Chains A and B, each alone.
Chain A
C-alpha cells in the first residue's frame, strides 16, 4: 500500500486507530448492555416465579461471595446443563444412536424431572476430561457435575465444588492374572503396576506402597489405556476402582484368567458436585438422591408411583410423593425452591435407586452385600446379609 507522502501515511494510521477504538468501544458497549438486559429479564422472571424469594443475587465471580442462584438459572433456561463423562463403561457413555446414557446420567434425568418437570430437558456437556471438570463447573458452563467424581477433603475445601449425597460407593482394588501368584499387595515387590495418572488412584497406590515399604514400577496413562495395557500383559497389576476393574474383566472372553484381590486400599464415594455457596441447589440434588433411595426402601417403583400417589398407603409415602393423605393437607417438605411433588416426578422418570442400579449396572457389578446395597434395618438382627442388604446406603429421614 504505497501512499504518496508521510502526512498521508500518518493520516491513515490515525484513522485506523480511531476505527479500531470505535469498533472496540461498540463491542464492549453491546456486551455490557446485553448483560444488563439479561439480568433485568432474569430479575423479572424470578420475581414472577419466586415471590417469596428476595432480590436475586448477581452472579459472583469470586468464590466466597454468596450466590445461591443455580436453581433459578436452570429454571429460567429451561434445561439442566449436566456435566457427564462419556467414556466410562456403565456410568457415562453414549449408545449407538449417540444418546448419552449410563448410571450417572439417570441422576441428571431425575434432577431435571424434579426441577423442570421434564426428564429430557437436559443438555449433556462432555466432562470426560478429568483435568477440566472442576473448571467447567466453577466457570458456570455446567450446573452440576455427575461423572464418577470422588469426594475428597481437598477437593471440597480447595476447589469451587460442593458435594451432594453419594450415588455410588467404591474403593480402589487390584486385578492380577490368576497364574501370577499374587494374592495381596505384599506380593507386589517391584511389580509393574498400571495406574491411571492424575487421579486419586495414583496417589492412593503411592501412599499404600510407602506404608508397606515396597517398591513398585508405575505405568501410567488414561483409564481405558491402562486397562488395555494390563490385558496386553504390559504390567503385572492393574489398579483402579474395584467396580471399574470388575466391569472391565467380566466383559472379556478370558475373564476366568483374571482375579480381583479382596484387598481394598481406599474409599471412593462418587457423588454429584455443585458449586460452593449454592445451598438451595445442593439441597435439591441431595434430596433427589435421598428420595430415590427412600423410594427403594419403602417399595415405591417407577411402575407403582402413580398408583401410590393417587392412593398413598401411609403418611410417609404421601409426604415423599407430595400428595395429601386421606383428607389431610399436602405435608410441606419445607422447600422454597421446588414444589412438593419433585420426588414423585423423579421416581416416575427413572425409578428408584435399585431400579436405576439394575437397569444400568445390573450384574456387571454385583450389588448384594456391597456398600451400594441398602443398609440393614436398625437394629441389625442378622450377621449375614440377604439380597440387596448389607451396605451403607442409608437415606436420611424425610420429615
Chain B
C-alpha cells in the first residue's frame, strides 16, 4: 500500500488530447469517460482499490490470498535457486534427452531438430506470424535449454547446434513471411509446398533418424522416444481415423459395422491394456521391434478416438452442405474430398488437439508397461545413480516442466491453426 505513488494534484493532470492532425479521425471521449487518459499511477491505484480493497471482506480475502501466493512464490524461489540440486539434470542431460542413442550418430538428432524447427518457422510464416509472445516463448525455452547445456560440463557443440536449429526456424520464417497474403498463384504454390512438407515431415524425420548407419528403432530412448512416439500416434491416428469415420457413417452395413466394431473395441480398453497386447501378443503376430509395435498400438488407439471426433464433425455439418455438393454435380468422392472433409477436419481440430496432448502425456506409459525407457523412465534411472538418490523431486519437476512446455506449445500452435482456419466463425 505504502509503495503506491501519490495521486498527482489535479492541475497536473494532462489535458484531454486534441484530435490528431492530418485529418486523422480520432475519437474524443466526453470528459466523464476520459478515465483512461489519466496517469497510469492513478488508474492503478483506483483499480487496486476497486478490485482488491473494496470492502473489509474483500480486503481480508486479498491479504489472505496474497499471503498464500507470496508463500508459494517464495517457496518456489527457495526451491529452484537454493535448495534444489539441479546437477541431477545437468549431469544427466544426455541420458534424459537421448539415453542409449549412439553418440557418434548424434548428428541425426540435431538435423531432425533443425528440420522440424525450420518447418515450424515456415508454417508460421505461411499461415500466421510470430507475435511478441511467441518470441518470448522461444527466448525462454531457448534460454532454458542453453542453461542446461552450459552447466555440469559445458556442451559447446550441442549449444551451437541448438542455436543453428533455432536459426533454421527463423530462416524458414523469414523465407515465407515476405510473401503477400493476398490470394495469388504464388501464394497457393507456397502453401502447397509448405503443407506438403509438413505432411511428410514425420517420415522425413524418421528417415533421418533411423536409415543407414548403426542406428535402429531400438536406439530411440529418452525424450527422443517421447518426441517420436507422440507424433507417430497422432499422425497415424488421423490417417487411421479419417477412413474409420467415413466408414462408420457409410450406408454399407458391412463397412459401418466393421468400423464401429474397431472403434468400440479399441476405445473400450485402456491404452495400458493395448500396450500389454503390443508386448506379449503382437510379438507373436507381427514381431518386429518393440518400439515399432508400440508405435502401431499408439496409432491404432489414437485412430479410434480421432475417428469419433471426425464423425462428430461430419454429423455437425448441415445437410445443406451435402445437398449443395450434389446440386453442383460433384460425385460422392469429390464432395467428400472438397466439401465435407475440409469442413469436418476444421471443426474437429479442438478435440483432436486435446487427444494429441493426451497421447503426448500417455507416452510415459511405455515405461510403465513396456521395457522401453522414455523421459520419465530415464529420470527414474537418473535418480537411481548413487549420488543423486535424494534428488528425485528435482528430476520429476524437470520432467513435468518439459512435458508442460511441449503440451503448451501444441496448445498455442493449435490456437493459431484455429484462428487461421476461422474456426468458431461462420
Which residues of A come within 8 Å of B, CB atoms? 1-3, 9, 12-13, 16-17, 31, 83, 86-90, 92-100, 123, 125-129, 132, 135-136, 139, 141, 224, 227-228, 231, 247-248, 251-253, 364
Contact A1 B250 (CB under 8 A): yes
A1-B250, A1-B252, A136-B371 known; A98 and B386 CB under 8 Å? Answer: no
A88-B384, A251-B386 known; A126 and B372 CB under 8 Å? Answer: yes
Contact A16 B254 (CB under 8 A): yes
Cross-interface CB contact of B389 among A86, A95, A97, A251, cutoff 8 Å = A251
Cross-interface CB contact of B95 among A2, A94, A141, cutoff 8 Å = A94
Contact A31 B371 (CB under 8 A): no
A-B contact pairs, 19 of them (CB 8 A): A2-B332, A16-B254, A17-B254, A83-B371, A86-B373, A86-B381, A86-B384, A93-B384, A94-B95, A94-B373, A95-B95, A96-B91, A96-B95, A98-B99, A125-B371, A132-B371, A136-B371, A224-B384, A224-B392
Residues in B whose Cβ lies below 8 Å from that of A135:
280
Contact B285 A31 (CB under 8 A): yes
The chain A residue sitting closest to B247, CB to CB, is A1
Contact B387 A224 (CB under 8 A): no
Chain B 378-408 interface mask (CB, 8 Å, partner A; 1/0): 1011111111011011000000000000000
Contact B280 A139 (CB under 8 A): yes
Give the Cβ gap from A119 to chain B, nearest Cβ, in Å.
17
A92 to B381 CA separation, bound complex (whole angstroms): 9
Contact A224 B103 (CB under 8 A): no
Give the Cβ gap from A330 to chain B, nearest Cβ, in Å.
37
Cross-interface CB contact of A251 among B92, B251, B367, B390, cutoff 8 Å = B390
The chain A residue sitting closest to B379, CB to CB, is A87
The chain A residue sitting closest to B380, CB to CB, is A87
Give the Cβ gap from A250 to chain B, nearest Cβ, in Å.
9
Q: Which of B254, B387, B392 has the most CB of A within 10 A?
A: B254
A16-B254, A98-B101, A136-B371 known; A86 and B377 CB under 8 Å? Answer: yes
Residues in A whose Cβ lies below 8 Å from that of B101:
98
Determine if B72 is an interface residue (Cβ-Cβ < 8 Å): no
Residues in A whose Cβ lies below 8 Å from that of B332:
1-2
Other than A98-B95, A98-B98, A123-B218, give 6 A-B pairs with Cβ distance below 8 A.
Answer: A88-B384, A89-B386, A93-B381, A94-B384, A135-B280, A228-B393
Give the Cβ gap from A177 to chain B, nearest Cβ, in Å.
16
Cross-interface CB contact of B94 among A97, A125, A139, cutoff 8 Å = A97
Interface SS of chain B: helix, strand, loop or mixed? helix
Which residues of B come within 8 Å of A, CB atoms? 91-95, 98-101, 103, 218, 221-222, 246, 250-255, 279-280, 283, 285, 332, 367-369, 371-373, 377-378, 380-387, 389-390, 392-393
Contact B283 A139 (CB under 8 A): yes
Residues in B whose Cβ lies below 8 Å from that of A252:
390
Residues in A whose Cβ lies below 8 Å from that of B95:
94-98
Residues in A whose Cβ lies below 8 Å from that of B387:
251
How many A-B contacts if CB must be within 8 Å?
118
Residues in A whose Cβ lies below 8 Å from that of B390:
231, 251-253
Cross-interface CB contact of A98 among B100, B283, B383, B392, cutoff 8 Å = B100
Residues in A whose Cβ lies below 8 Å from that of B378:
94, 98
Give the Cβ gap from A89 to chain B, nearest Cβ, in Å.
5
The chain A residue sitting closest to B372, CB to CB, is A126
A389 to B11 CA separation, bound complex (whole angstroms): 94
Cross-interface CB contact of A96 among B94, B285, B369, B377, cutoff 8 Å = B94
Contact A126 B383 (CB under 8 A): no
Contact A1 B255 (CB under 8 A): yes
Cross-interface CB contact of A1 among B251, B377, B381, cutoff 8 Å = B251
A94 to B98 CA separation, bound complex (whole angstroms): 12
Cross-interface CB contact of A9 among B218, B252, B369, cutoff 8 Å = B252
Contact B389 A87 (CB under 8 A): no
Q: Which of A16, A31, A94, A231 has the most CB of B within 10 A?
A: A94
Residues in B whose Cβ lies below 8 Å from that of A228:
392-393
A75 to B385 CA separation, bound complex (whole angstroms): 32
Q: Which of B373, B380, B384 has the most CB of A within 10 A?
A: B384
Residues in A whose Cβ lies below 8 Å from that of B383:
87, 224
Give the Cβ gap from B376 to chain A, nearest Cβ, in Å.
11
Give the Cβ gap from B370 to chain A, nearest Cβ, in Å.
8
Give the Cβ gap from B99 to chain A, nearest Cβ, in Å.
4
Give the Cβ gap from A275 to chain B, nearest Cβ, in Å.
15
Residues in B whose Cβ lies below 8 Å from that of A13:
252-255
A98 to B100 CA separation, bound complex (whole angstroms): 5
Residues in A whose Cβ lies below 8 Å from that of B373:
86, 94, 126
Contact B103 A94 (CB under 8 A): no
Residues in A whose Cβ lies below 8 Å from that of B94:
96-98
The chain B residue sitting closest to A252, CB to CB, is B390
Q: Which of A132, A252, A364 has the most CB of B within 10 A?
A: A132
The chain B residue sitting closest to A100, CB to CB, is B100
Contact B381 A97 (CB under 8 A): no
Residues in A whose Cβ lies below 8 Å from that of B222:
98
Contact B255 A87 (CB under 8 A): no
Residues in B whose Cβ lies below 8 Å from that of A129:
368-369, 371
Give the Cβ gap from B412 to chain A, nearest Cβ, in Å.
31
Give the Cβ gap from B92 to chain A, nearest Cβ, in Å.
5
Give the Cβ gap from A341 to chain B, nearest Cβ, in Å.
30
Q: What 7 A-B pairs are tightest by C-beta distance, nearest first?
A: A93-B384, A126-B371, A98-B99, A94-B381, A13-B254, A87-B380, A87-B384
Residues in B whose Cβ lies below 8 Å from that of A231:
390
Contact A3 B100 (CB under 8 A): no
A126 to B313 CA separation, bound complex (whole angstroms): 42
A92 to B279 CA separation, bound complex (whole angstroms): 22
Residues in B whose Cβ lies below 8 Å from that of A132:
279, 369, 371
Give the Cβ gap from B273 to chain A, nearest Cβ, in Å.
13
Give the Cβ gap from A279 to chain B, nearest Cβ, in Å.
26
Cross-interface CB contact of B385 among A16, A95, A127, cutoff 8 Å = A95
Residues in B whose Cβ lies below 8 Å from that of A136:
371
Residues in B whose Cβ lies below 8 Å from that of A251:
386-387, 389-390
A98-B100, A129-B368 known; A89 and B381 CB under 8 Å? Answer: no
Give the Cβ gap from B247 to chain A, nearest Cβ, in Å.
9
The chain B residue sitting closest to A28, CB to CB, is B285
A364 to B384 CA separation, bound complex (whole angstroms): 14
The chain A residue sitting closest to B92, CB to CB, is A96
The chain B residue sitting closest to A94, CB to CB, is B381
A87-B380, A98-B99 known; A364 and B386 CB under 8 Å? Answer: yes
Residues in A whose Cβ lies below 8 Å from that of B246:
1
The chain B residue sitting closest to A83, CB to CB, is B371
Q: Which of B222, B372, B373 has the most CB of A within 10 A?
A: B373
Residues in B whose Cβ lies below 8 Å from that of A224:
380, 383-384, 389, 392
